[in-house]
Amino acid sequence: MLPRFLAIARPYLPRYAAGFVLLLATNGLSLWIPWLLRDAIRGLEEGAAARVIAGIAVGMIAVALGQAVVRTVSRRTVLGASRHIAYDVRKEYFAQLQRLEPAYYDTHRTGDIMSRGVNDVRLVQGFYGPGVLNLLNTSIVYVAVLVLLLRIDVVLTGVSLLLYPPLFFGVNRLSRRVYTRSRAVQEQLGEISNRAQENLAGIQQVKIYAQEEREIAAFRKSAEEYRRLSLSMAALRGGMVSLIGVIAGMGTLVVLFVGGRFVIEGRIDLGDFVAFNAYLALLVWPTIALGWIINTMQRGFGAMERIDEVLRVRPEATPAADEEEAGRSPAVRAEIEIRALTFSYPRSRREEHRLDSIPAALRDVSLTIRAGEKVALVGPVGSGKSTLVNLLARLYPVPRGAIFIDGTDINEIPLSRLRRSLGYVPQESFLFSRSLRDNLAFARPEATDSELAEAVGLAALAGDVAGFPRGLDTVVGERGVTLSGGQRQRATLARALLGRPPLLILDDSLSSVDADTERAILDALGDETGGQTMVLISHRLSTLAGMDRIVVLDDGRLVDEGTHDELLARGGLYARLFRRHQLEQRLTGE
């Protein structure tokens, strides 16, 4: 882990070198004060003139003021470098989150991911800032003070440092336990963040089912576990600081006893003894801070390890990596061929230990969709419809040799080219807490007002926009909370249509609008999109009569395909689903 920390700090080594030089200067000034104090005591013993003593006192004040200035600059230099490093790590972490495929987020909790990007980065900053600052400062003080103590008296120095070897041994043993407990604390903090995020995102469900007290109790339990782990680590840190303080105090007592005898015997004079104790006192804080430094380093190591767990993940493909190649590639015509596709979702970390296999979401599916064809996917819940369109968008790793677009394996198509060639409208519409205009133009910020108006019209949203307080500039709130479910779905449809993609995928994305509006939208898309390929999932089978072809899935397998009339005439699964849908329509009055 240490090489990793050095690699991150490499661009800022000149700043750390400057900070080291400044720390040398500030400690040199600090160590000069006891030496001046020794000279003042000797002057008093020898009856020096008052002006001489006053000059030494003025010198001590000047040195102290100079030390304060240099120390401030040194702290700004080192701590400033740590903030730059934290910025770099946070930027790299966020960029990695953008590169990772949706499959990663299916198996990792949002709250924990956020905790790593906020709390763990803060601990890494603490390592590079106060941690490195105090480590450098302590090292300088120890070396410099040791040289000055040896200069005053070798034997007394040896006696004063006699207890330090067992101190370092004890601190080393405790530091290993600090690392383990620090990692546990960070993991639990991630658990708390995840629970808080889920409750805030699902606050409507919590209130609708009156589960506030249960969720509060669950959060309290997680918080109490975090408190227990934090107190355990604090107790360990307190024990480390106490151990250091006790040994430092015992060392001072030994020095007073032995050094006092040396003064009486004339081995050293009173000025040397006072200077010796002053220098030894300068070691007290660095010695006590040693425990804090070790704890900061261990927590930083643990935090960086958690961040690196995310940074080490290698996405299947990254849009940015093939951007140049995508720019040279011809436009996608969206002719799709699926060959014996079998697919299972990746296991989550909680499922990895299970021996039983996860059933395949798709099994031996073969299908050809011609460019410009309008195809609907239907089937019972869990039949694999959404899985199939997710693979067409390459939101999950696609087996090689299973899906071809325009005759090319989908894995060989630059991801940026593929994604920009399709408009994907998922089941759950998502809008950012921005204006409606910004949401619609999310993928095409340069879109003109006329292009926006055309997309809004195709999505049957024009009438709604006209009634909004500020039209397209109306802020829709978090996740589009100020809009109805149907308005959110039509807004996401308009966003997908804005780029006129060769392939349009609608994953049951009109479920919140009425049947007449859905039929009108599909008719408009059929008339206006020309050669655009469309893959549609819808639970309203009555709206699919105008599709070129309907593909029926059941339990992950393709069981039938044909036109609406052909499938009804066969009397298979589609006919049964259609009759059930007609019954539901009569019961609901649609």
Mean local confidence (pLDDT), 569-587: 83
Q: How far apart are CA 60 and CA 54, in angstroms?
A: 10
* pLDDT at 355 exceeding the cut of 60: no
Residue 575 structure tokens:
């006919």
Contact between 262 and 273 under an 8 Å Cβ cutoff? The reply is yes
pLDDT tens figures, 35-71: 777 778 777 767 777 777 888 888 888 888 988 898 8
In terms of pTM, does the model score above 0.95? no
Residue 165 phi, psi (nearest 5): -55, -50
Strands 503-507 and 533-537: parallel
Contacts of 256 (CB under 8 A, 6+ apart): 277
Q: Which residue has the tokens 């949002």?
A: 110
Domain ranges in the chain are 2-311, 324-347+358-421+501-590, 433-500
Are 539 and 377 spatial neighbours (Cβ–Cβ below 8 Å)?
no
CATH number of 324-347+358-421+501-590: 3.40.50.300
The residue with greater pLDDT, 333 or 344, is: 344
Report the C-alpha gap between 298 and 237 in whole angstroms.
12
pLDDT of residue 504 exceeding 70, the answer is yes
Q: Backbone phi, then psi, for 561, in 5-degree steps?
A: -160, 155
Greatest Cα pair distance in the chain: 122
The burial class, CB within 10 Å (0-12 / 13-18 / 19+), for 322 is middle
Mark residue 243 as left, alpha or beta (left: phi above 0; alpha: psi -120 to 50; beta: remaining): alpha
**Integer Cα distance of 373 and 420 in angstroms:** 19
Among 60-64, 175-179, 372-376, the range scoring the smallest mean pLDDT is 175-179
Stronger pLDDT, 283 or 363, i.e. the higher one: 363
Strand order in the sheet with 362-369: 362-369, 336-343, 403-405, 408-409
H or E, element range at 81: helix 50-99
> For the chain, what percent of residues have pLDDT higher than 70?
90
Q: What is the mean pLDDT of the chain?
A: 82
Q: What is the mean pLDDT of residues 233-258?
A: 76
User: Mean pLDDT across the stretch 266-293?
Assistant: 76
- The residues, ordered by sequence, that sit 6+ positions from 361 with a Cβ below 8 Å of its Cβ are 343, 344, 345, 384, 387, 556
pLDDT band for 529, please (50, 70, 90 cuts).
low
Residue 15 near residue 28, CB atoms below 8 Å:
no
CA dihedral sign of residues 206, 209, 212, 218 = negative
Would residue 339 be called left, alpha or beta, if left means φ above 0 and alpha means ψ between -120 and 50 degrees? beta
pLDDT band at 321 (very low <50, low <70, confident <90, very high): very low
> CATH assignment of 2-311, given 1.10.1370.30, 3.40.1350.10, 1.20.1560.10, 3.40.30.10?
1.20.1560.10
The tokens for 401 are 């040799």
Would you state the structure tokens that stand for residue 255, as one six-digit string? 């020095």
Share of the chain residues as helix, strand and coil, in percent rounded to the nearest 5: 65, 10, 25
- Can you give the three-state secondary structure of 492-537, one letter per residue? HHHHHHCCCCCEEEEECCCCCCCHHHHHHHHHHHHHHCCCCEEEEE
Segment 158-163 mean pLDDT: 78
